[in-house]
Amino acid sequence: MRMRVADIMQADVEVVVEDMTVRDVIVTLADAHVHGVPVVDLNRRILGVISSSDVLQAVAETDSVDAHETLFDRTHVRDLMTTPARTTTPETEVRDAAQQMLQFDVHRLFVERDGTLAGVLSQSDIVRAVAKERL
């Protein structure tokens, strides 16, 4: 039997909204112990993704204390997020999702059901399934 994304995805996903500040995103990423979160609207439609790499890139491009403060407190998620977020469906076979991750060089795919966020599938989820001989 072939394993589907729904079989190993994480349904409990931390999210952010596009008008949150970079400081808020850093706290969210740290508290959730993740490297990326989807940016969603009020109906949980996925608008993009923001990752620790996006934040680090923005920090690297600032050259003063004032610029750092502006980045953290006045820059919004919408200004740094990557669009579109890479998505898949719960019915997709895990092998196909893994190939999509490789193709797009991403560490996670957000799972959409009926146009809204249903979960996330990360490379770690796939490795865990392999290690537990589920795949």
The pTM (predicted TM-score) of the whole model is 0.88
| Structure tokens that stand for 40 in this block | 């969603």
Residue that is written with structure tokens 């990423």 in the block: 29
19-28 confidence digits (pLDDT tens): 999 999 999 9
Question: Is residue 85 within 8 Å of residue 49, measured between CB atoms?
Answer: yes
How far apart CA 64 and CA 66 sit, in angstroms, is 5
Contact assessment for residue 100 and residue 88, using Cβ atoms and an 8 Å cutoff: yes
pLDDT tens-place string over residues 41-99: 999 999 999 999 999 999 999 988 888 888 999 999 999 999 999 999 999 999 999 99
Match 């403060």 to its residue by tokens. Answer: 69
